[in-house]
Amino acid sequence: MLRKIARPLMASAFIADGVQMVKSPQNHAKNAEVVTGTLRKVLPPQAAGLLPRDAETNVRIAGGTKIAAAALLARGKAPRLAAAALAAAHLPAILTRHDIKNVAGKGGQNTQLTTLLADVGLLGGLLIAAEDTAGKPGLAWRAQQALPGKSQQQEMLATAQDYASDFSEKARELASEASDSISSAASAVSDYVDEHSDEWRDTAYQVRDQASAYAETFAEELQDSTKGLSKKAKKAKKKAKKLK
């Protein structure tokens, strides 16, 4: 209940400040130039190049960020993130809006001192809100609890070792079975070749004899045909002589 009241009270100051920055950026342009100049020196060149060169644009961006983050904080939506964003946006304002070296006047009753202390107090409240888990376990604690303890790790390691051992044993069994199957197949092929080698040799001899017989028959027929053609050629030659 207390958080529902405290968060809107804290956020109201930043909403008002953000609205003023958006409506009248020229009043904060000088301070924005100091902040952006420092950031360009600190940030890497690639990140620094993303910062707008126009000071009033930077003021409007900072003001819009304050309004959005303060609205989230007031409604209790992502309050820790919203508070952290407001703290990051509020710290440069403290350093640029106040002349810290000369803030205390005679007797320490300077108005600027009171304003500075109020801004510092707001920053402290934002830091507390950024760490407030509303009674719930923080993210770091939950992450630590999610990790297995030593006993659980040992059990997981033993289980993994058992799985690895079983897998290795099954792999060896499969390899042995495959080797036996290959040996059996090779032996069967060898036996088959031994059993039929005589038949294959006899068949080869028969094919060779038949091919030889076919060749002799073809040669004889070719020779007879050649003799017949020779006789016909001689007769034709004799007739040609008679015609002359």
Q: What is the pLDDT of residues 4-50, one digit of tens each?
A: 788 888 888 888 888 988 888 888 888 778 777 777 787 787 777 77
Give the sign of the dihedral formed by CA 190, CA 193, CA 196, CA 198.
negative
d(CA 1, CA 53): 44
d(CA 181, CA 24): 89
List helix spans (H) across the chain.
Answer: 2-23, 29-42, 45-48, 55-75, 79-97, 111-131, 139-146, 150-243
Residue 216: pLDDT over 70? yes
Give the sign of the dihedral formed by CA 32, CA 38, CA 43, CA 47.
positive
Each domain of the chain, given as residue ranges in start order, spans 1-132
Amino acid type, 111: T
pTM exceeds 0.75 for this model:
no
Q: What is the pLDDT of residues 111-148, one digit of tens each?
A: 667 777 777 888 888 888 777 766 555 555 455 555 55
Helix (H, G, I), strand (E, B) or coil at 77: coil
Amino acid type, 197: S
133 token code pair = 């888990």
